[in-house]
Amino acid sequence: MSRNILLVTNAQSQSQASLVSDVCQLLAANGLSCIFEPGELARLQSQGAEIESQVEYGSQKLEAVVVLGGDGSILRAAELTFGKNVPILGINTGHVGFMAEAELSGLDAAISALSQKNYEVRDRVALEVSVMVLGVEVFKSWALNEVTVEKSARERVLEVVMEVDGRPLAAFGCDGVLVSTPTGSTAYAFSAGGPVVWPNVDALLLVPLSAHALFARPLVLGTNTEIAVEVLARSVSAGVMWCDGRRSFDLSPGSRVEVYKSDTSIPMIVLSDAPFTDRLVRKFALPVVGWRGPEAPN
């Protein structure tokens, strides 16, 4: 039986396409079959990739997804396999690549571990989101990182009211409101002033974006919390809702966006038990000179 691996990549140059060719050969050498999302083979081959495989992803059963790229590519991989319980292994070829499990320098070891099934799978919390208009659901989607309700006109302020577990919390004018998972806490939520949340913490973040209000601090909520953001009927500005910055829906005044923990999680491949603290220090290049902890070298 073929051990199918979906290879997702952001390759945009001849050198990156050549890397994809090398990875396909490496997968084959480890007994793994490389397949691609529809249209990717032709695009990569036009960039000079020499790929023997002619298989595009359809109804094949997948053992895993290997991502060559950054966090955006991992979000695309999650979108392709959402609800299919296929674990994702991220190999960082981008800049920060916070969600990636391995760097390019560790590619051989990562593929070997994948082949030998020498890894753990840990589920990441996802969000489910519904847009309601006059009590009728008009849009439904999901997100791994965050759901944002944002103003659609730069020169306007979006008037919203936030709701937590069926109770109103605060109303204000703002650029938007963001609901984030722990995975997304190092992404848009971090840039908006939210806290970093360790992946093993069961929490959701509610982060106002440039709110004109005295009480507009980021909030940490339980994963069983139901959150709603309503675009007030009096708002002179329409809004737009984004899921992971990939799927959007226009919001008219009076729209209601309901967000809660999804029953579907995102399985991610973990190759080591390295502490999340170490990843945080490495990815953000945090200064730790002077540390004299129990494992510090003499």
Alpha-carbon distance of 233 to 247, in angstroms, equals 24
Strands 102-103 and 88-92: what pairing? Answer: parallel
Which residue among the candidates 22, 71, 202, 244 is catalytic per the annotation? 71
240: left (phi over 0), alpha (psi -120 to 50) or beta: beta
Can 71 be counted among the known catalytic residues? yes
- Tell me how far CA of residue 46 lies from CA of 57, 105, 211, in angstroms: 19, 26, 47
Record the tokens describing residue 248, joined without a space.
Answer: 């959007």
Handedness of CA 93, 98, 100, 103 (dihedral sign): positive
Distance of alpha carbon 26 from alpha carbon 7, whole angstroms: 12
Contact in structure between 45 and 18 (CB atoms under 8 Å): no
Alpha-carbon distance 259 to 24, whole Å? 39
Q: CB atoms < 10 A from the CB of 34, how many?
A: 21
Catalytic residues, by residue number, are: 71
